Amino acid sequence: MTREVSGDMTKSNLFSKIKDFIHSDAFIFLLPAIILIIVFYLIPIVVSVYMSFTPLKNWNIARYIHEFVGFENYWRFFYMVTHDPTVRPIFITTVVFILVTLAINVLGGLGLAIATFFMGEREASSTQLLWLLPRMTPIAVYSMIWYYFFHGSAIGTLNSILMSLGIIHKPIDWGQSIIPWGPWMIIIFVNGLVGVSYGMIVFTSAISNIPKELVIAARVDGASNWSITKNILIPLLKWHIVYVTTWQMLSLLTTYDHIFLLVEWGLVNRYYGTTWALYIYNMAFTAAEKDLGLAAAAGVILVIVGALLGLLALKILGFEKMVKEPRGDI
Amino acid sequence: MVVVRLMNVTKVFRTGVVGVKDINLTVNHKEFMALLGPSGSGKSTTLYLIAGIYRPSSGKIFFDDRDVTNLPPKDRNIGLVFQNWALYPHMRVYDNIAFPLRIKKLPENEIRKKVLETAKMLRIEKLLNRYPWQLSGGQQQRVAIARALVKEPDVLLLDEPLSNLDAQLRISVRAELKRLQKKLGITTIYVTHDQAEALAMADRIAVINNGRIIQIGTPEQVYTKPATVFVGGFLGNPPMNFIEGEIVEEKGKLYIVIAGQKIFAPAHYEPIIRRGGWRKVVVGFRPEDTMILPECRDRNECVKGRVYAVEPMGREYIVVADLGGELVKAIVPRTLVLTDDQEICLCPSLEKIVLFDPKTEKSLEVLAAEKE
């Protein structure tokens, strides 16, 4: 009896709370964001989840949309990952790609931000501009540059340099012949170079917010650049490192634009140059038989993995501590 | 301990801004020297030059006979305290104080001994486990001073260390800091824009304006014998009064005419006025050296004015008087009852008057000394 009453109470409380929220100024303020999230995030997720339970193929919506196959797509996906020799490399590649590129992005960004901090103003800004170039270059143009750089024939920049130096005598097909290191190296290199600038910008602006007196005080005490970096800059950049790591990890998990072009142009091996996100894209849009149910299932799992990894990263790196200590309005 | 000497030091920044120009300054062994000036005057620049954070564009800096002009800060053995104290926010108080010693790679037990000693001296030994954000402003300031002192520096440099404290605390810390400095006998250079702080704490004050040192002297000298109109107007609260006057001679006696009224020229100025042939002068007199009488007797020591406003300050009243269109201030005892627009008689103490040249704004004594 009592339990039911209290249950009703909470229910009506919740409704009245939602009602209050809809009538509040905050709701109006949040409305644009709420609409965007619903249209571009929630609806696609619901559609994807729905699709993952249907045997939808080749966009033949009329035929398959009312057919339900339960978790069959999910079982098929797991079976392919564990047994299909053309799918397994994709997942190994995804793990290697994310781990190595993430390390390059975060450490590279941090290193650049700190290095430019100790440089003169002019050197610092030109260094930063240089590292921003990959970010500013259109994806296709940027991919094209590295396509020619790593090209497997004698016209490839890397090959022709090595050949003219006499280190190699005939061109090496970097992305197709040295499996898996060749394609891995290329996709990690290309994406790593783009991603470094993000960390660099976040860390640079964070460093510029550290009071200069802290550094001067350490300098007066005789601290070297390394000691200032280790004892002052990095501890004070902790939260920014958490943020950049989490953010970059999630964006690496879902990125496929550069990789798509490199695979399509045949620069890198199709199996050891494809990541999970690109695999889903290919299955849904470019494969001969577009297995949309399977693609949707793989996509749903990718979203779940992303969410879990994000939460895990924030947990490990102590995000809740950052949230608990408000430093603004006390 | 150390004598700090700056010889013709000039600092021009890369942007072309002149930080300081031709600074000559000697800070003696164990001396407490205040660098006093308004913001942007170059006082902090001077401090950073002594610290080695800036390199002078020209000139030399000596610690005793050692030329430190081109030495980096770490080789000068200085302790530096900033206005915002610059405590490392991610380190506990203990680690903050220990930091300079850890950089020197001292053994940990020796570090511990020194940190505890210094903390005890500044009465912060109970706070060693806290983080800076858990401390009050006064406590943070002590930690900053402890961090500067723990490495036993030859010179202690303080950059407005009290200006982030509230007014009450500032006054109590001021006495404490002065005592600490005397006890340690450490050569100290203290930058401030607060004239009261400089007067209260320093053995000598160097007044800086527009990148130049205007006057160096004991608080007494700088206060009573300002070298320029600027110094007189910068020190004191309320500052020195200035009013234009004209020298006239009648029957072999020199008078100054202020607001159409004659007063005797101060006796000690007579030879200077005669030798320099001065006609137009600026008369400076301090509010507390000015008496107010209800009416003037014809004594040629006072001038008639009118009460413009009375500001009760608790301990005394400040009377703002209208002297022929110029406003001047006088400090009077609370017992004097005055009403607005009342006619009064203003009597600046003649022996404490300072006369300035209206053109250069330098005092006549200084100009006379420059000529010799």
- Residue in chain A nearest B104 by alpha carbon: A222
Whether B161 shows a pLDDT value over 70: the answer reads: yes
Q: In what order do the strands lie in the sheet with B280-285?
A: B261-264, B253-258, B241-250, B280-285, B354-356
Residue A13 neighbours by CB under 8 Å, 6+ apart: none
Sign of the Cα pseudo-torsion (B252, B257, B263, B264, in order): negative
DSSP one-letter code for B156: E
pLDDT bracket for residue B23 (50, 70, 90): very high
Domains delineated in chain A: 84-324 (1.10.3720.10)
Would you call B103 and A222 a contact, using CB atoms and an 8 Å cutoff? yes
Enumerate residue ranges in chain A where pLDDT < 70: 1-11, 319-330
CA dist., res. B91 & res. A221, Å (int): 16
Whether B246 shows a pLDDT value over 60: the answer reads: yes
Would you call A220 and B99 a contact, using CB atoms and an 8 Å cutoff? no
Beta partners for B228?
B362
Token look-up 């690496």 returns A252
CA dist., res. A200 & res. A211, Å (int): 19
pLDDT bracket for residue B342 (50, 70, 90): very high
Whether B165 shows a pLDDT value over 90: the answer reads: no
Which of B45, B83, B90 is the mutation pick for testing A, counting most A CBs within 10 A? B90
Beta partners for B312?
B317
Q: What are A130-182's pLDDT values in tens digits?
A: 888 888 889 899 999 999 999 988 888 999 999 989 888 888 888 888 888 88
B149 interfacial to chain A (CB closer than 8 Å): no
Lowest pLDDT segment from A283-287, B4-8, B343-347: A283-287
Residue A306: Cβ within 10 Å count: 17
Name the percent of chain A lying above pLDDT 90.
42
- Residue in chain B nearest A224 by alpha carbon: B103
Whether domain B4-227 has CATH 3.30.413.10: the reply is no
What's the gap in Å between the CA of A227 and the closest CA on chain B? 8
CA dist., res. A256 & res. B12, Å (int): 53
- Residue in chain B nearest A227 by alpha carbon: B103
CA dist., res. A89 & res. A274, Å (int): 8
Please give the pLDDT value at position B286. Answer: 96
Name the percent of chain B lying above pLDDT 90.
79
- Residue in chain B nearest A226 by alpha carbon: B103
Beta partners for B9?
B23
Cβ contacts (< 8 Å) between A213 and chain B: which residues?
82-84, 86
Whether B93 shows a pLDDT value over 50: the answer reads: yes
Would you call A235 and B90 a contact, using CB atoms and an 8 Å cutoff? yes
DSSP one-letter code for B362: B
Q: Where are the domains of chain B?
A: 4-227, 241-371
B151 interfacial to chain A (CB closer than 8 Å): yes
Residue A18 neighbours by CB under 8 Å, 6+ apart: none
Mean pLDDT of B329-345: 90
DSSP H or E run through A276: helix A276-281
Interface of A with B (CB under 8 A): 211, 213-214, 216-223, 227, 231-232, 235-236, 238, 327
- Residue in chain B nearest A327 by alpha carbon: B133
Please give the pLDDT value at position B294. Answer: 87
What's the gap in Å between the CA of A214 and the closest CA on chain B? 5
Q: Assign residue B252 a region: left if phi > 0, alpha if psi is -120 to 50, beta otherwise?
A: left
Cross-chain CB nearest to A222 (options B51, B86, B104)? B104
- ipTM for the whole complex: 0.80
Residue B289: Cβ within 10 Å count: 18
Which of A210, A215, A221 is the mutation pick for testing B, counting most B CBs within 10 A? A221
What's the gap in Å between the CA of B89 and the closest CA on chain A? 8
CA dist., res. B47 & res. B53, Å (int): 9
Cross-chain CB nearest to A211 (options B53, B84, B90)? B84
Cβ contacts (< 8 Å) between A206 and chain B: which residues?
none
Name the percent of chain B lying above pLDDT 70.
100
Would you call A219 and B73 a contact, using CB atoms and an 8 Å cutoff? yes
- Residue in chain B nearest A236 by alpha carbon: B90
C-alpha distance from residue B284 to each of B194, B234, B265, B306, B331 (Å): 21, 13, 12, 19, 15
Beta partners for B248?
B255
Inter-chain Cβ pairs, chain A and chain B, closer than 8 A? 53
- Residue in chain A nearest B14 by alpha carbon: A121
CA dist., res. B194 & res. B205, Å (int): 12
B55 interfacial to chain A (CB closer than 8 Å): no
Whether B106 shows a pLDDT value over 70: the answer reads: yes
Cβ contacts (< 8 Å) between A235 and chain B: which residues?
88, 90-91
Please give the pLDDT value at position A70. Answer: 87
What's the gap in Å between the CA of B76 and the closest CA on chain A? 9
Q: What is the mean pLDDT of chain B?
A: 92
Whether B95 shows a pLDDT value over 50: the answer reads: yes
Would you call B147 and A223 a contact, using CB atoms and an 8 Å cutoff? no
Q: Among A261, A308, A250, A316, which residue's Cα sits nearest to residue A98?
A: A250
CATH number of this structure's domain B241-371: 2.40.50.140
Please give the pLDDT value at position B58. Answer: 95
